[in-house]
Amino acid sequence: MEKESLWNKCLVYFKERIPEQAYQTWFDGIAISTLTSEEIVLQVPNQFHYEWLESKYRHLIDAAIKDVFDKPLIVNYSVVVSHKKPNEIPSLVQKENVIPPGYQEKTQLNSRYLFDNFIEGKGNQLAKAASYSVAERPGQTPFNPLLIYSITGLGKTHLLQAIGNFCIRRYPSMRVQYLTSEKFMLDFIKAIQENKSTEFAGAYRGVDMLLLDDVQFFQKKEQTQEQFFHLFNELYQQGKQIVLTTDRPPNELTGLKDRLISRFQSGLMVDIQPPDLETRIAILSKKAHDDHLEIPFEIIEYIASHIKRNVRELEGTMVRLLARSSLYRKDITMELAREVLEEILGREAFIGVTIDHVIKSTSKEWKVSERQLVGKGRKMEIAMARQIAMYLSRELTGASLFNIGLHLGGRDHSTVIHACKTVEKKMSNDNELKKRILRLKNELQPVGGISTY
pLDDT of residue 351: 53
Q: Does residue 85 sit within a domain?
A: no
Residues 172, 152 within the same domain:
yes
User: Domain ends where: 271, 300, 330?
Assistant: 271
pLDDT of residue 245: 94
Q: Containing domain of residue 53, as a range?
A: 2-79
Calpha distance 403→393 (Å, rounded): 10
User: Domain ends where: 300, 331, 350?
Assistant: 350
Q: What SS3 state is found at 44?
A: strand
pLDDT of residue 244: 95
Per-residue pLDDT at 146 exceeds 70:
yes
| DSSP letters spanning 194-253 | TT-HHHHHHHHHT-SEEEEE-GGGGTT-HHHHHHHHHHHHHHHHTT-EEEEEESS-GGG-
Residues 112, 260 within the same domain:
yes
Residues 133, 261 within the same domain:
yes
pLDDT tens column, 34-88: 888 888 888 887 766 777 787 778 888 988 998 898 888 888 888 754 343 333 3
Read off the CATH number of the domain in which 126 is found: 3.40.50.300
Residues 243, 322 within the same domain:
no
Per-residue pLDDT at 289 exceeds 70:
yes
pLDDT of residue 212: 93
pLDDT of residue 348: 46
Q: Does residue 21 sit within a domain?
A: yes
How many domains does the structure of the chain reveal?
4
Calpha distance 342→302 (Å, rounded): 13
pLDDT range class, residue 376, cuts 50, 70, 90: confident
Residues 300, 234 within the same domain:
no
pLDDT of residue 398: 66
Report the DSSP beta bridge partners of residue 32.
Answer: 42
pLDDT of residue 452: 39
Give the residue from 224, 70, 256, 7 showing the smallest Cα distance to 147.
256
User: Domain ends where: 323, 350, 377?
Assistant: 350
DSSP H or E run through 76: strand 74-79
Give the residue from 346, 287, 367 showing the smallest Cα distance to 319.
287
Give the residue from 122, 45, 104 showing the smallest Cα distance to 77.
45
pLDDT of residue 134: 92
| DSSP letters spanning 119-175 | ---TTTHHHHHHHHHHHHSTTSSS-SSEEEE-STTSSHHHHHHHHHHHHHHH-TT--
